[in-house]
Amino acid sequence: MPSIQETVVPGFSGAVWTLAGGGGMVAKVLTYGGVVQEILVPDADGELVDVVLGFSRASDYEGEHPYFGAVVGRIAGRVSNAELNIDGKRFPLLANDPPNHLHGGKESFDRRVWRAEVIPRLDGAPSLRLSTMSANGDNGYPGRVELAVTYTVTSDNRLVCETEARSDCRTPVSLTHHSYFNLAGEASGATDDHEVVILSEAAFCADEKMGLTGKCRSVEGQANDARRGKRMGDFVAGLWQEHGDLYWLGESDDVRLVARLRDPGSGRTMEVATDCSCIQFYGGKGLNGELVGKGGVPYNAGAGVCFECEGYPNAFDGSGEFGSILVEPGIPQKTRTEYRFSNQSNSLIKP
First to last CA, the chain: 42
pTM here is: 0.97
C-alpha 265/C-alpha 122 separation (Å) is 37
C-alpha 34/C-alpha 320 separation (Å) is 30
Of 204, 151, 341, 152, nearest in space to 261 by CA: 341
> What is the CB-side half-sphere exposure of residue 340 using CA atoms within 13 A?
15
Output the CA torsion sign for 149, 102, 314, 272.
negative
C-alpha 28/C-alpha 105 separation (Å) is 25
Of 238, 197, 221, nearest in space to 348 by CA: 197
Percentage of the chain lying above the pLDDT 70 cut? 100
Whether 308 is catalytic: yes
319 has pLDDT over 90? no
Q: Helix or strand or coil: residue 82? A: helix
Of 46, 26, 48, nearest in space to 38 by CA: 26
Residues 6+ apart with CB under 8 A from 339: 39, 158, 159, 161, 179, 270, 271, 272, 307
Average pLDDT over residues 26-31: 98
C-alpha 223/C-alpha 214 separation (Å) is 20
* Spatial contact of 183 and 217, defined as CB atoms under 8 Å apart: no
Among residues 162, 186, 308, 338, the one annotated as catalytic is 308
Q: What is the dihedral of CA 326, 332, 333, 337, to 10 degrees?
A: 170
Chain segment 244-256, per-residue pLDDT in tens? 999 999 999 999 9
Chain segment 48-103, per-residue pLDDT in tens? 999 999 999 999 999 999 999 999 999 999 999 999 999 999 999 999 999 999 99
Task: Looking at the structure, give the CATH architecture of the domain made up of residues 3-194+275-340.
Answer: Distorted Sandwich (2.70)
Among residues 65, 101, 103, 178, the one annotated as catalytic is 178
Q: Where are the domains of the chain?
A: 3-194+275-340
Chain segment 138-188, per-residue pLDDT in tens? 999 999 999 999 999 999 999 999 999 999 999 999 999 999 999 999 999
Average pLDDT over residues 297-322: 95
Average pLDDT over residues 120-126: 96
Q: What does each C-alpha distance from 253 to 74, 233, 250, 303, 327 come to in angstroms?
A: 21, 33, 10, 33, 16
1 has pLDDT over 90? no
